[in-house]
Structure formats: C-alpha cells, structure tokens
Structure 1
C-alpha cells in the first residue's frame, strides 16, 4: 500500500491531509476497506483469483477513486455521511445492477449514508463523493437553485447516457490530472480549482434530476427483501440454514424470495447464499493465515459446509486455490508505485 500525504492539513467533513493512495488487492476484504469513510462489504460472485487495482485522491470534503477489478462482486454498504456519491462504470464487460436497476454506462448517484447495493461486473469503476453542503452551496450561488432536499429518495440512475458520458469524462480528466501530478494537492489555490472543477462536472446531472421520480414500490420491496435475507443469513451463520429457513423467518414464499434475488442480483437465492458462505469462509481463512491454531475444517464447519471434499472443489472453482493454500500461503498486498 502506498500513501502519499502532503503537508497541508484538511478541514471540514473529512479533516485529513490531502492524499494520493494507490493499492493492489488480492482479496475482497482488503478491497472493501480500502477507501476512507466507507463501510462496505464485497462478495465475490464470479470464479477466479481476485485482483483489483485502486487509486484514491482525497481532499477535505472531496474524494475520487477508481477500482479496476477482474471479478463480478456484490457490493453493499455506505459512504461517508452528508455526501453525494456519483458512480461511473467504464469498460464494463457486462451489465451491472444498482439497487435493483440494470445499468451500463449510466451514472449512479446516492446519498452517502443511504444503503448502496450493487452487482459490479469486471470494469473500471470511477467514483466521486463530495460534501453535500459544498454542492448545495455551489448550486445556489452558480445556478440560483435551492437543492438541499435533492435526492430525497436517496438514489437515482441517470438514464441519459450522453449526459453520463460527458460528466464521467470531466471527472476522469480531473482524477487523472491529480493522481499523475500529486504536487498540485499541496497548494491551496490548486485545491480550490480542483473542487470547483468537481462541482462543475456533476452540476448538469443534478440540474436534470432536481425532482427525479421515486423508485417503484416493486423495486424497493424486492431490494428490501433481498437485503433482509442476506442479513438473516449473516446473523445466523453458526446455524445450518436452508433456504426454507430463510423463507419462514422472513414470512415470505420461496417464489417471492426467488423473484427478489433474480430481479436485484440476477441469480437465485440458493446460489447467492452459497456464494455468501464461500466468501465468508475465505475471509476467515485469510484472517487466520500464518497462524498454527486454525484448521480448515473448523472454518468451513462454522459456515455450514459439511462435505469437506465438495467444499474444497467448489472453493477452488471459485477462488482458483484450495482452502489450505489460502490458510497457509496468503499473498501479501503489494504496492503499486
């Protein structure tokens, strides 16, 4: 991991020095924890050895980062409070899903403290989070628009692909300029110009969606059902849950659960819950790597797998290594200079 901190202290929402951070990730757990202020959980959905390179530019009240990964992941969690977050997928191999809506080239937007739920295919993901007060003040001063209640439904998907592409290009240009020349972050004048450019880049998106239509009831209810099912499984990880246990606990039919997962994640609940448990077992094995007190059998039993050879085969198919190799041969994170 490489951090480059500059001498000028930040202030406001994120009181940290301006910084450039470059990392390379070999596991979803380190990737999910990579960015300041975010509380995320990543679940790997496609098989293969996980690889993701990330870069982050951080100023007070402004954060831009990129992820370039090789696996499809389910990402859920929140960003830092009182922020607007703009997500821009580039070079996407497949469609993504954002809070139950399919997207490809669309900008996604949400309030930082609201729950994000996304299926992210292999791509370069560019994300900009900005302090809400900064953006609201700018819109009032530059456009004469009162926007304090903008995005009151918490999130939206920008349907206008041309608008999405133009805004993404401006953010990408700004991000590349900062990450390629980090010395600009050391000067108050250039930091002010960077902030101004970031605000200008996303203003057209806000102006087109000052009063966006709320998500449909069906979209909201299916997302909520999927999240409740996921939370229930994680809360009862020590129990040998079957899919009907989830249905009974949530008081829904198996068909309703099937529709919820198919619409929001494009897979059936049985397959997703198995992947959730595989990812959980992998996190525990990675956390215990290099210790002499943990046995593979103990970890996989905790996650409800009772057939060791079948688990090993499924684990290797998913992560391209045996569980014993994860436990005894974890690859350390490497810096990208």
Structure 2
C-alpha cells in the first residue's frame, strides 16, 4: 500500500515518530520554538522522505531491517556534512547531529535489491564502500544534481492523486532514484579504467533490450530491470544505446511506454478509459509532463488520439 504524506510539527519527538518504520529519537539542542516539515512516500520497502528542521537536533536510533538507506543532509555547518552521502545498512545504529535549518533527503530500498544491482553496476572498490562505509564524500555537483532529482520526484509524487499512483509508478520512481544513488557511488571511479563492450556486444544488448521492453505487457521495464536480466551495468547499456541507436535507454524506454499508452487510447473510446488511467498504467503519474512528452513524440495531445476513436 502506498502512502503519501506532507506533515508539519512543533515537537521534535513527534516528528521522529512520524517517519514510517524508523526506530529513532530526535532531541532538540538549540533554544527556540521547534518547527519542522516532513514529506514522505512509502510503498513497501521503498521509501523517500524530505525533512526540514529549524533547530539543531541530534537524531539517533536504528534503521529499518532488511533495507538500505541513502541519506544526503543539506546544511551549512563547518563540518563538511553538506557533501556527504550517508549509507545505513539493515538495522544499523546511527547518530547524526543536524545544525539549524537542515534539510535531509533520504531513500530506503530493499537491501537485497540494492546489493544485486550494485554488483552489476559498481567496481569492487565501490561495492566494498557501499557495504562497509558509513558515509562517503562525493562530488558536490553530482550530489546537488541528485538533490534536485529527489526534490522533483518527491514533489511530483505528492501532487499525484492516490488513484493514479500505482505499482508501475512506484517502481519507476524507485528504480530512477536507486540508479541515481548508484551513479553517485560510482562517480569517483575513473571512466578510462572501464572496459567498453564491443560493437557486436552493443548491438546484441540493444536488440535484447528492445525484445524485453516490447514483451512486457503487464508493467513498464526500467533500466535496472534490463541490468538484472542482461547482467550488465547501466553504463554499458548507456554506451550501447548511444552508439548503436543514437539515443539513451531512458528516452527509449519512455518512448516504449508512450507508444503503449497511445495504443490503449487509440483502441478505446472516452467512455471506456480515461487518459489519466491509461497513463498511470504505464507509470506516468504527472499528467502535465506526460502530455508534454506525448505531444513531443506524436505531434498531438493524448486527448486528440482518444477523440479520433
């Protein structure tokens, strides 16, 4: 069951208790009236949340069992935490001192899923860091880009009605965010040390990716799905699509989903299906963005396709 919430608090302890599945305590350390905001989305083991805290607090407790958490604090203290990626493994104890006016962006995923995808996408060194390091220093530019991605996707999720936020949209959001964290972990590696697939291997990857995407009738296929099924890294897929198909796998998979929606609309009458339901079936949960992408690809709005039936 998916839960989408936007909450405000005047008590640090109440805020701490409201983050789903976390056994934690928040103690206020600086004087003054406490005010905070919590936005969160929960769908099974997948969870994203954004915290805004106006007072200095200390957070401590244990992370959820069988999950892995990635957290990026955004603050202006002198300790360098603003460009730090914190990683919590299953049921791991933690303590974090948050200065005044801190924002925290975090996401949790099923631990087994993270490790299986990390084994395909990360170097042995980065994989060891993922499983052993409590925090990693990462390039600020890449971290800032990830902040933007999390804020944008969380905002879109909160704008989405519960009726249109389904398993497909939750999966696409989860895989997109997890891919971003894996990119961040691998960003310290030298690209020159990675071996690129040969031309025949690239052609085969593109062909098999297309076959998998077209054969998926029940749920949208993501890049991480392709990584798992083809046992390759996201970087290998990216390079193969760019050099063979002159596009990237993200745009390709989006086009596959847009075409699936178009077929549904073209075969239905307005009384049989709504545009929102057809879009949500294929993971488009923000209707204005969907309409814009649809028109850019097909030269007409989805409402025009539906009316032509």
User: What TM-score bracket applies, with the shorter chain setting the length?
Assistant: 0.5 to 0.7
Distance in 2 separating the partners of 1:50 and 1:133: 37
Equivalent residue for 1:133? 112
What secondary structure does 1:151 align onto?
helix
Equivalent residue for 1:87? 71
Q: Cα distance, 1:194 vs. partner?
A: 1.3
Equivalent residue for 2:84? 106
- Contact 2:67/2:89 (<8 A) preserved: yes
Moved more, 130-139 or 65-74: 130-139
Question: Which one scores higher on RCO, CA 8 angstroms, separation ≥ 6?
Answer: 1
Q: Which runs of 5+ in 1 are unaligned?
A: 1-16, 97-101, 211-337
Q: Cα distance, 1:28 vs. partner?
A: 1.4
Deviation track 1:95-134 (CA, whole Å, cap 9, x = no partner) reads: 46xxxxx412332222242221111012221111111112
Q: State which of 185, 193, 217 in structure 1 corresponds to 2:172.
A: 193
- Contact 2:83/2:139 (<8 A) preserved: no
- Contact 2:25/2:61 (<8 A) preserved: yes
Distance in 2 separating the partners of 1:48 and 1:160: 34
The alignment's TM-score, normalised by the length of structure 2, stands at 0.54
- Contact 2:122/2:182 (<8 A) preserved: no
Matched, 1:153 2:153: no
Distance in 1 separating the partners of 2:64 and 2:179: 21
Q: State which of 86, 93, 100 in structure 2 corresponds to 1:115.
A: 93
* 1:115-264 equivalence runs, <5 A: 115-121=93-99, 122-140=101-119, 151-183=130-162, 186-208=165-187
Equivalent residue for 2:306? none
Deviation track 1:260-286 (CA, whole Å, cap 9, x = no partner) reads: xxxxxxxxxxxxxxxxxxxxxxxxxxx
What secondary structure does 1:113 align onto?
coil
Q: Give the 4+ runs in structure 1 shifted more than 4 A.
A: 140-150
Moved more, 125-134 or 164-173: 164-173
Equivalent residue for 2:261? none
Q: State which of 41, 50, 75 in structure 1 corresponds to 2:34.
A: 50
**Number of aligned pairs?**
188
Equivalent residue for 1:41? 25
The alignment's TM-score, normalised by the length of structure 1, stands at 0.50
